[in-house]
Amino acid sequence: MNSISPVPVCIIAGTRPEAIKMAPVIQAFQKSPLFKTQVILTGQHREMVDQVMAFFNLKADYDLAIMQPKQTLTDITCLAVRGLEELFVKLQPKMVLVQGDTTTAFAAALAAFYQQIPVGHVEAGLRTSDIYNPFPEEANRRLISQIAQLHFAPTTLSAENVEKSGVVGEIHLTGNTVIDALLKVAASNPPCEIPDLDWDKHRVILSTVHRRENWGEPLSDIITGFQKILDSHPDTALVLPMHRNPTVRDPLQAALGSHPRVF
Amino acid sequence: MTEPLDYTELIGAMKRCTLIMTDSGGIQEEAPSLAKPVLILRETTERPEAVMAGTAKLIGTDSVRIYDEATELLTNPESYQKMANAASPFGDGQASDRIVDLCAKYLKIA
């Protein structure tokens, strides 16, 4: 049997969620003797991506470093497509893998398409019925679906969504790679030190609230609900990792900040 | 109050907690794999799979409903276990290996 030389593939990421969801994919490709895997970061976001790469012990082969102050979608798209074109011409990948619905993912799919390189789309098939919500992600994911040859759907519902989009290529139900990443991290039993909280002393309710739709009155209702729970169940504690946005942070801080069982 | 948690700290917190109340989409996906019930503080969700699978419940933001749903899970072990033990519709942790295999087949090198 002839030994075949590893086939070059490029894996693209630009934001923190992409890095998390691509990390186990990169590891799986690197483990396979069939592939020569090149990781390309666009640099759409910076520090938060580096953090994730370091945690999973991954290094980027190339970094386009496109991030600039006050970048627009047009800036990101143009710089990423141009930079990736040069890399794809140089590296000659037989396949390009993109994840989700960021502008990085869309630009990478487009750059690969222009070189007639097949695109594999990880987490294909998320949909809302509103092209402007979420913006620009809803359009990004629909456009990627039209370009990709391999559609890796996380759930049966998302596989149906891809099917309904009338795409070309293969649709596969794979599960979501975020679970692969999660189980790897959870197995390492990551610490979570919160000042003054003894995890064994309370039943802890973990809560995060940050969506725009919950700003204002819904947030006040949620706070009232939390207060009732804490009053009626003295063995509970509430852990509320804060959001940086003061619109969410300030009301929570004002109402619950001094409660002895809110952390 | 706690400063924003990074990716691994948040997983550490999810692993150690009893119950999660959130409007975050990512947490709705992750919590079932750690066997934690999720009460979704929203009127809608882009992830109906979790609700259909029974790992999460869409409860909105009404304070009485929030209190009632949390109390049910904190006081009724049967209700708690039913949500905690429901299978995750989001994956089994093998997605990446499947993707590598499917790419190899597509490129006819497997």
My answer on whether A70 and A118 are in the same domain is yes
User: Taking residues B54-80, what's their average pLDDT?
Assistant: 98
Q: Where are the domains of chain B?
A: 7-106
Boundary residue ending a domain (A126, A159, A187) = A187
Name every residue whose Cβ is closer than 8 Å to that of residue A73 and which is 6 or more positions away in sequence.
A103, A136
Q: Whole domain around residue A224: which residue ranges?
A: 203-256
Contact between residue A146 and residue A165 where contact means Cβ atoms under 8 Å apart: yes
Assess if residue A261 is contained within a domain. Answer: no
Q: What is the mean pLDDT of chain B?
A: 95
Could you give the CA distance from residue B39 to residue B46 in angstroms, rounded to a whole number? 14
Boundary residue ending a domain (A163, A187, A211) = A187
Assess if residue A150 is contained within a domain. Answer: yes
Inter-chain residue contact B42 with A24, CB threshold 8 Å: no
Task: For B20-48, write each residue's pLDDT tens digit.
Answer: 999 998 899 999 999 999 999 998 887 89
> Given this model, what pLDDT does residue A2 score?
53
Q: Give B42→chain A minimum CA distance, Å.
A: 8
> Given this model, what pLDDT does residue A3 score?
64
Q: How many CA atoms lie within 13 A of A78 on its CB side?
A: 6
Task: For A46-60, write each residue's pLDDT tens digit.
Answer: 888 998 999 999 999
My answer on whether A71 and A122 are in the same domain is yes
User: Which parts of chain A have pLDDT scores under 50?
Assistant: 1
- Prediction ipTM score: 0.95
Could you give the CA distance from residue A234 to residue B34 in angstroms, rounded to a whole number? 25
Inter-chain residue contact A203 with B18, CB threshold 8 Å: yes
Work out how many domains chain A is built from and give that number.
2
Name every residue whose Cβ is closer than 8 Å to that of residue A182 and which is 6 or more positions away in sequence.
B11, B30, B33, B34, B93
Can you give the CATH number for the domain in which A162 is found?
3.40.50.2000
Assess if residue A65 is contained within a domain. Answer: yes
Nearest to A42 by CA among A79, A93, A73, A85: A79
My answer on whether A22 and A149 are in the same domain is yes
My answer on whether A33 and A158 are in the same domain is yes
**CATH number 3.30.428.10 is the correct assignment for the domain at B7-106:** no
My answer on whether A120 and A240 are in the same domain is no
My answer on whether A232 and A129 are in the same domain is no
Task: For B88-103, write each residue's pLDDT tens digit.
Answer: 999 999 999 999 999 9
Inter-chain residue contact B16 with A199, CB threshold 8 Å: yes
| Residue of chain A whose Cα is closest to the Cα of B97 | A28
pLDDT band of B3, cuts 50, 70, 90: confident
Contact between residue B20 and residue B14 where contact means Cβ atoms under 8 Å apart: yes
Q: Give B100→chain A minimum CA distance, Å.
A: 6
CB pairs under 8 A between A and B: 247
Question: Is A28 touching B (CB cutoff 8 A)?
Answer: yes
| Residue of chain A whose Cα is closest to the Cα of B2 | A241
Question: Which chain A residues in 196-235 lie under 8 Å from chain B, judged by CB atoms?
Answer: 199, 203-211, 213-214, 218-219, 221-222, 224-226, 228-229, 232-233
Assess if residue A263 is contained within a domain. Answer: no
Residue A13 token pair = 């990421």
Boundary residue ending a domain (A160, A187, A214) = A187
My answer on whether A26 and A109 are in the same domain is yes
Q: Give A191→chain B minimum CA distance, Å.
A: 6
Inter-chain residue contact B100 with A25, CB threshold 8 Å: yes
Inter-chain residue contact B61 with A4, CB threshold 8 Å: no
Location of structure tokens 């309904």: A164
Q: What residues in B contact A244, CB-CB < 8 Å? A: 4
Q: What residues in A contact B41, CB-CB < 8 Å? A: 207, 209, 214, 218, 222
**3-class state of residue B96 by DSSP:** helix
Cα-based angle A202, A205, A210 (whole degrees, multiple of 5):
145
My answer on whether A181 and A212 are in the same domain is no
Choosing among B103, B107, B108, which should be mutated to test the A contact, i.e. which has the most A CBs within 10 A?
B103
User: Taking residues B62-67, what's their average pLDDT?
Assistant: 98
My answer on whether A171 and A234 are in the same domain is no
Q: Give A203→chain B minimum CA distance, Å.
A: 6
Q: Which of A9, A205, A233 has the CB atom closest to B103's CB atom?
A: A9
Q: 10 Å Cβ neighbour count for B29? A: 25
Inter-chain residue contact A174 with B99, CB threshold 8 Å: yes
Task: For A167-206, write each residue's pLDDT tens digit.
Answer: 999 999 999 999 999 999 999 999 999 999 999 999 999 9
Assess if residue A78 is contained within a domain. Answer: yes
My answer on whether A45 and A101 are in the same domain is yes
Location of structure tokens 């997983």: B11
Nearest to B96 by CA among A79, A19, A22, A254: A22
> Given this model, what pLDDT does residue A116 score?
98
pTM for this structure? 0.92
Inter-chain residue contact B10 with A241, CB threshold 8 Å: yes
- How far CA B20 is from CA of A63, A66, B3, B6, in Å, comes to 37, 37, 17, 17
